[in-house]
């Protein structure tokens, strides 16, 4: 029985880049967490330790900072495409690259002061395979909640079932959404906030009989409105809120007082895609949680 080296990649993980655009009185602050991954003719370094084809991960880190100074940053997608193309075109052993970027949001307080809101992050993963490129963008840790308009009933019951049915509950989740674009030549700065808005609008407007139904409605709404998107993948944990039992204190509880559960939690995940969507190739390979 033979032993061979399988799929592999290497790179620099979580390069922290903060870029300040001072070209206007109102400064633009861009805060990114960038990971670079290279794929190609690297068998020798794994099998024998020969590093002749290995572009050092420190060099990859330095390229991130140098490119931010030389070209600015722009959208995470544009910056990732610029980096990935550079690695593939400038290093002969590199046959493919994957650049992953999380953007941390900052809100303006004035022209040059900022405050960071909640834990939500914008994400992108750009994959190069030769001269082909795939762009997967999205968001993570977008916490949403609705106080009504959510039900859960009609599920099977057996000897281990204790969950009561409900026609009015709090529905809360932390949305991780990633969508694959059909092209790498798009106005990413315009389309991202528009897709985010559709996700939020659909969550709010959908009368939910199950979190699964809400997930599908959100993905479908994005595909219906944005022809540039080939597929949407969502991961939505059910952040349970349990009605507090106030009867020991002689009090009723008409859906007003809840206990916010931490764990365990239901985890709902799904993919919504066009039947005619172009092939995903390696776009999802090594994408955390969505491979």
**Short-list 276, 289, 266, 142, CA closest to 203:** 142
Q: Is 240 annotated as catalytic? A: yes
Verify cis geometry, omega within 30 degrees of 0, for the bond prior to 189. Answer: no
Tokens 């900022």 belong to which residue?
114
Q: DSSP labels for the chain? A: ------S--EEEEEEEEEEEE-SSSS-EEEEEEEEEEEEES-HHHHHT---TT---HHHHHHHHHHHHHHH---SHHHHHHHHHHHHHHH-TTEEEEEEEEEEE--EESSSS-EE--SS-EEEEEEEEETTEEEEEEEEEEEEEEESSSB-B------TT--PPPBSS--EEEEEEEEEEES-S-S-HHHHHHHHHHHHHHHHHH--BSSHHHHHHHHHHHHHHH-TTEEEEEEEEEE--EEEP--GGGT---SS--EEE--SS-EEEEEEEE-TTPPP-TTTTTT-TTT-
Given 12, 37, 61, 146, the catalytic residue: 12
Residues 6+ apart with CB under 8 A from 78: 188
Given 27, 57, 95, 147, the catalytic residue: 57
Dihedral (Cα; 158, 161, 165, 169), 10-degree rounding: -150
Q: Is 57 annotated as catalytic? A: yes
Q: Is 75 annotated as catalytic? A: no
Given 37, 61, 146, 240, the catalytic residue: 240
The catalytic residues are 12, 57, 240
């Amino acid at each position: 029985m033979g032993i061979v080296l399988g799929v592999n990649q290497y790179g620099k993980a979580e390069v922290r880049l903060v870029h300040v655009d001072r070209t206007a009185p109102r400064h633009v602050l861009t805060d990114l967490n960038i990971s670079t991954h290279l794929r190609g003719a690297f068998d020798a370094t794994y099998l024998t330790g020969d590093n002749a084809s290995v572009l050092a991960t420190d060099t990859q880190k330095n390229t991130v900072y140098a490119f931010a100074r030389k070209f600015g940053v722009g959208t995470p997608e544009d910056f990732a495409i610029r980096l990935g193309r550079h690695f593939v075109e400038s290093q002969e052993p590199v046959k493919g690259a994957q650049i992953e970027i999380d953007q941390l949001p900052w809100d303006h307080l004035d022209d040059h002061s900022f405050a960071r809101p909640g834990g939500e992050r914008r994400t992108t993963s750009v994959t190069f395979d030769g001269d082909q490129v795939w762009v997967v963008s999205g968001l993570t840790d977008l916490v949403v909640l609705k106080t009504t308009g959510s039900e859960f009933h009609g599920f099977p019951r057996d000897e281990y079932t204790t969950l009561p049915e409900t026609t009015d509950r709090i529905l809360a989740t932390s949305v991780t959404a990633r969508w694959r674009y059909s092209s790498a030549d798009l106005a990413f700065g315009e389309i991202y906030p528009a897709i985010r808005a559709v996700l939020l609008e659909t969550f709010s407007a959908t009368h939910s009989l199950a979190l699964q139904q809400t997930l599908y409605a959100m993905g479908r709404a994005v595909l219906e409105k944005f022809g540039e998107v080939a597929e949407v993948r969502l991961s939505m944990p059910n952040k349970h809120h349990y009605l507090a039992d106030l009867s020991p204190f002689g009090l009723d509880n008409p859906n007003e007082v809840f206990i916010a559960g931490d764990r365990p939690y239901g985890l709902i995940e799904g993919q919504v895609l066009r039947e005619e969507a172009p092939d995903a190739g390696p776009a999802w390979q090594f994408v955390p949680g969505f491979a």
